[in-house]
Amino acid sequence: MSGAHPTGTGSGLVLLTGATGYIGGRLLPPLRGTGRRVRLLVRDPGRLAPEAQAGVEVVTADLLEPETLADALRGVDAAYYLVHSMDGSRDFQEADRRAARNFAAAAAAAGVGRIIYLGGLGQDDADLSEHLRSRHEVGDILRGGSVPVVELRASIVIGAGSLSFEMVRALVERLPVMITPRWVEVMTQPIAIGDLLAYLLQSLDLPLKESAILEIGGAERTTYGGLMRAYARRRGLRRVMIPVPVLTPKLSSLWLALVTPMYARVGRRLIGSIRHPTVVREDRAARVFSVPVRDVRAAIADALAEEDARFAAGAWEASRASNVPRGWGGRRIGTRLVDAREARSSRPPTEAFAPIRRIGGPNGWLYADWLWTIRGWLDRLVGGPGMRRGRRRADVPPAGERIDCWRIEAVVPDRRLWLAAEMRLPGRAWLEFAVVPDEEGSLVRQTAVFDAKGLFGLCYWFTVWPLHQLVFAGMLRRIVESAGDGARGR
C-alpha cells in the first residue's frame, strides 16, 4: 500500500501504454468509446495501424529513457501500464524493473491520479517462475511510488490473438494425440478478453485512496488440459491426451517450439509459469466491480464467434498490415489460412467489379472451368451439392442465395462479394472478391480463407495449395482482363 494521492490532474486525459500489444490494442476501441481523451505512448508510431491513431494523440517515448516520459505524462489523469518484456531476451527482468521505476517517477512528477497495471496471478514464493516474479515485481515498484495503483492480476486470457489461447488451440488443432506433462493438470482460472477489458475500463472510476491488488478471473477454474479439451469439444475434434511425468518445463518448451514454432521465443518462459496454479484466492474484485464473468465454454465460443465476424467484415485486411508472414499455404491467422492476392485495373470500381457480378452458373468461374467441374463431381460423390445449383439471377443475388456450391454471406454493390463454401470440406471455406478505388483506377482483391478442422483439414489445404495458385491467380487475371485492361497482379 502507498499513501493517498486522490486528486490527479482533473483533465480526464487517459494515457495508454502497450497499444501495439494484444491487451492494449483490444482496450483502445472501448476506451475511446467512453468519451475520454486518449493519448498513446509508443516507441514506434509506425507499428500503429491508421485506424488505431484516429481520434487519439500519439506521443513517441521509451520507458527505458526517462527523459522522454515527461511530455508523454503531462496533464494525464489516469495511466494504463500494459507493457512487459517477455520477448526472449536474457535481461527482461532488469528491463522491466527499469521501465517501472522510470514510469512511477515520471507519473508522480506529472501529478497523475492513478496507474492501472495488469499483472499475473500466482502465489508469491521462492519457486515462482521468472516471468511471474517479474510481473509481481513490476507491481511492487509501481505501488512503491506516490501514485496509487490499481493492480489487476489475471491468468490466461481467452481471446483470438491472445498468446496463451493461440498456443492452446495450435496444439489442439495440430495434434490428434498429445503426450502431456504434469503441468497440463495444473489449475488455472481463465478470463475472457471481453471480461478483462471490462475490469480495465471500470478501474478508471474505481474509488481509490491507496493502491490495491485485485485478483480477477473467469467464472470457472479448470486445468490446462481441461482448457484444451473444452476447445476440442467446441471445434468438434477428438483428441487423446497421454500423461507422462517426465516432460520437464525445459523439454516442454522445446516440444512446444517444435509444434508451434511461432511461439518459440516466449515458449520457455510461459511454460515455466504454467507449472504454478493461477487461480483467484480472494473475492475483493467481485465485491468492488460489476463484471458478469463468463465460463470457459462461453469464453471460447465468444472468441471464435468474434473471429468469424471480423473475417466476414473484411477485418483480415488489418492482419495484412501487421506483417503476418506469407509462406507455403498462405498467411496463418488464428486457425485460418489466408491466400490473398490483388491486381490493379485502370477501370473505375463499377467496371472492375462487373466480371465479379456475373461469376458462376452458366458464366463459369472465368478460369479452368474444367477443374471446377471435376471438383463439383468429387463433391457430389461425398454427398455435397457440387456445381449443380447454378445461379438464378443475372446480376449479383442478395445475401443468403446460392451460386453453384457457394452461399452469399455478404454483398456490397460494386465493392465486395463474400462467399461461404457449402461443399463437403474438412473445415470451413470462404472466397472474397473486393474492389477499392485507387489513384490508377481500382485495386481488385481476391481472398480465399480456410478454417482447417484439425490435422486432416491442414493436410487438405496444403494438398490443394498448388491448384489454388493456378486457379485463383488465373481467375484474378481474367477478372481484370474482362474489365477491359491487362492484369498487373501480385
Distance from CA of residue 162 to its chain's centroid? 6
Residue 44's pLDDT is what?
Answer: 85
Mean residue pLDDT of the chain comes to 84
Half-sphere exposure at residue 4, Cβ-oriented, CA atoms within 13 angstroms: 5
Query: CB-hemisphere CA count at 13 Å for 378?
Result: 8
Confidence check: pLDDT of 266 > 60: no
- pLDDT, average across residues 36-54: 82
Q: Of the given ranges (48-52, 101-105, 182-186, 207-211), which has the lowest mean pLDDT?
A: 48-52
If you average pLDDT over residues 437-446, what whole number do you get?
A: 89
* pLDDT tens column, 222-258: 998 999 999 999 988 899 888 877 656 566 666 666 5
The answer to whether the beta carbons of residues 81 and 117 sit under 8 Å apart is yes
Distance of alpha carbon 350 from alpha carbon 352, whole angstroms: 6
Task: Flag whether pLDDT at 381 surpasses 80.
Answer: yes
Whether the pLDDT of residue 107 is over 80: the answer is yes
10 three-state secondary structure? coil
Residue 86, pLDDT > 60, answer no
Per-residue pLDDT for 40 more than 60? yes
The number of angstroms, rounded, from the C-alpha of 22 to the middle of its chain's C-alpha atoms is: 7
Least confident residue range of 54-63, 169-178, 472-481: 169-178
* Structural domains present in the chain: 14-302 (3.40.50.720), 313-489 (3.30.530.20)
Rounded to whole angstroms, how far apart are CA atoms 8 and 368? 67
Angle ∠(62,67,68) on CA atoms, nearest 5? 40
Q: What average pLDDT does the segment 186-191 reach?
A: 93
Question: CA dihedral defined by 253, 255, 256, 257, rounded to 10 degrees?
Answer: 90
Mean pLDDT confidence for 125-145: 83
- Angle 379-402-414 from CA coordinates, rounded to 5°: 125
Q: Which residues contact 395 (CB under 8 A, 6 or more apart)?
A: 357, 358
Q: How many residues does the chain have?
A: 490
The answer to whether 455 and 174 have CB atoms below 8 angstroms apart is: yes
> Which of residues 439 and 352 earns the better pLDDT score?
352
Instruction: Write down the pLDDT at residue 50.
Output: 67
Which residue spans within 277-350 are E strands per DSSP? Answer: 326-327, 330-333, 336-345
Question: Average pLDDT of 101-114?
Answer: 96
Q: Give 12's pLDDT tier (boundaries 50, 70, 90).
A: confident
pLDDT reported for residue 10: 64
In this predicted structure, what is the pLDDT of residue 229? Answer: 94
CA–CA separation, 398 and 219 (whole Å)? 41
Whether 73 shows a pLDDT value over 90: the answer reads: yes
Q: What is the pLDDT of residue 3?
A: 39
Q: Of all residues in the chain, what percent carry a pLDDT higher than 90?
A: 46
Q: Is 0.75 surpassed by the pTM of this model?
A: yes
Q: Could you write out the DSSP letters of every residue in 409-425?
A: EEEETTTEEEEEE-S--
DSSP 278: B
